[in-house]
Structure 1
Amino acid sequence: MNETHFYARRQKLLDRMEEGVAIVTSAPTQSRSNDTEYLYRQNSDFYYLCGFNEDNSILILVKNPELTKTILFVEAYNAEHALWNGARLGVERARERFRVDDVHDISEYATMIKDVLREHINLYIDLYSDSTRLTEVKNAAQSLHSTRGVKRHIRSIHDVTHLIRSMRLIKSDEEIETIKKAIAITAEAHHTALRKCRTGMLEYQLQAAMSYVFLNSGASAEAYGAIVAGGNNANTLHYVDNRDELRDGDLVLIDAACEWELYASDITRTFPINGKFSDAQREVYEKVLDVQLRVIEAIRVGVKRDWLQMYSEELLCDALIELGILSGERSTLIEAKEHKKYAPHGIGHWMGLDVHDPCPYVDEAGESLAFEAGMVMTIEPGLYFRADDESVPERYRGIGIRIEDNILVTEEGYENLSAMIAKSVEEIEGICHNQL
């Protein structure tokens, strides 16, 4: 995406603001241990507004009746930093690159912020951040409040993240293409795992095969910590140890995906380690797959997300009844949440710059949002039967299955962005045996 797209987003945010000042900060670096740091990942809201991937940066938007103004603070070029860690963009090159009204050295921020806030009544910041930069802002506002000669001062503080993340809910064509690129790489990685998986491998070896595809294809990073869960490990929803042996006769659940230009994909597939579903595994797998396909088919503009969640729970409860795991009337079972023991998580979540995009799920009245074209979400039903759960018929114990795809809401209904990734029993077994 080029600067035109980021400029348009900044203008849209200014349009949504009342008179005042909005401040969005970059993500800080994070220490891993002693003097080493984690690979840097930019604050998604900051990146959304300016596409800048350096830390120690701040974007300020000013709106008043006479004019609007955008100011970017960046770290100046430093020869010693360039020697050890690579060159910063610097002030002058930032002026050339970004369509902002002014660029300053970040070292000037502390002295300038009071003048930026002067005579404004609204302040838009991340209300839940403990950033030292935002503490400086609050201190400056407090100082102005008690300064003689200042006629107007900050009297309302608003959550800027809510405005930004409401904008992030509807993806542009450029964003969708970026997500598709991430999914295309992830598809190759999942198919690689299907082809390479063998009895006796270790979970992390399968993860390594996928990580190679991500990095070799130029992906910026994994979108989240990969789950490679053989056998009963699949029944731990956020299993990330990935250290156990993959055993003959078990399934392996892989929830792993990559980012492309900070945009996420999020895919889960479950398949037999030896390449052949047992009868019991196939029974459960096809129940989960049927639920997923039916839920996806129900997606269209105007459908409310909470209805989709309830619909998915009804289908999963029916599946549990048909498998003989639950008995009774569906409505009674759902009211008692009996199905939640085996299907504990939601049907999906928003996806975009974050794998769990923190966009709103409800409107200003607290009502569930209706789908609009341009929304991207995951659909990921699952059934989980622990090996030690004697309430489950013995043939199903130790089986955990989740199937997850990434769905774009369109004017015509939906597009499954990850439809190219093998999912049917026949496709999976074919790839496992190198027949597809």
Structure 2
Amino acid sequence: MATTEVVQSRRIVTEIPGPKSRAIQERRSAAVAQGVGSTLPVYVEHAGGGIVEDVDGNALIDFGSGIAVTNVGNADPRVVERAAEQMGRFTHTCFMVNPYESYVEVCEALNRITPGDHEKRSILLNSGAEAVENAVKIARNATGRQAVVVFDHAYHGRTNLTMALTAKNMPYKQGFGPFAGEVHRMPMAYAYRWPTGPENCGPEAAAAAIEQITKQIGAENVAAMVIEPIQGEGGFIEPAPGFLPALVEFCRAKGIVFVADEVQTGFARTGDMFACEHEGVVPDLITTAKGIAGGLPLAAVTGRAELMDAVHGGGLGGTYGGNPAACAAALASLEAIESDDLVGRAREIGALMLDRLRTLADKYEVIGDVRGRGAMVAIELVKDGKEPAIEALAQVVAHCHSRGLILLSAGTYGNVIRMLPPLAISDELLREGLDILEEGLAGL
């Protein structure tokens, strides 16, 4: 099946949003629940590479990737062809009723590429939140324990359990309680804001978390520790060196299942296939979604065979989990990541972006911190020391949107600009997008 060729250049022909987008937005207000937000209400017609084209004919530079989903680029021809071919054969049988080979193939691929050379099993699901929830189910079942440890600034989803695991109240938790119990939050190794300085952050944060777990919960009561190897919604917080390895060592010694939530960081996004590989961390369970299937909804839990197989027959699954079209898309996407060396491309993107962002940090005092790895980078905006510069962020993001650059905000304090360009983006578009970002910073 042919895909629409998207010219890889920015083009602005109307105000942003344009008249056609505004007209659709009016219809949306009468049809879609107000609780569903949109970062930039330009309605999309086509997308590919590093460009998103709207219904008004504007072409915007994509620094969002649908929140780290279109790692291989939007409408990658290999993904489209394989998913369309599958759709022509059958769209659904439910793997739990009549299984199909592509589900098995995706699980085989995940077992092969996720960290560790131990024997693994996988299950396929629909969303990142569903994957995290199932990882907790598996850990509780396998250990016979109940408590779950999570961290400050964490985001794990919008279901009841994953809202409990998530740190930030607004907009994710406000008014939706009561939440699932036996969830305990520990300090995060947030180097930029660590009281004794970034050089002390990793070991001190790990020691504080371990002491809290030992004294307040009891390690023997903890089923799982769940952590993002780089926190996403929390503000792209990269744990200080040594923090994750120390936690893994503690979990191994105490029989706690270590769960790496790689929903946003996985599939070449950070310059490794999975972010936890950066410090050689091998999780017991790893949750994935977002970048797995080139834009189709799919998620997974992959982990040690003895943990995954501990659950009784029928205890895991779901009607749509591992939909055949999504499985076909995932196989094509995973092949593209490996054949196009998108791990290497993410490192190139990171080198280009971080170098430029650090130059901007030297020039503009409002940038308090530059952080991230690969094509997952961010700047934290501050004033008067380290006070969050929320108004400045809003001004910069609004400028970038008006000039045709899709940016996302994040952070517990609402002052982080996060950048997640597709790994298919060109260097020219990256540089142009960063030029627009600098215009916004210069206008403060």
| Structure-2-length-normalised TM-score | 0.23
Asked which structure has the greater CA Rg, the reply is 1
Instruction: Name the structure, 1 or 2, with higher relative contact order (CA <8 Å, separation 6+).
Output: 2
| Structure-1-length-normalised TM-score | 0.23
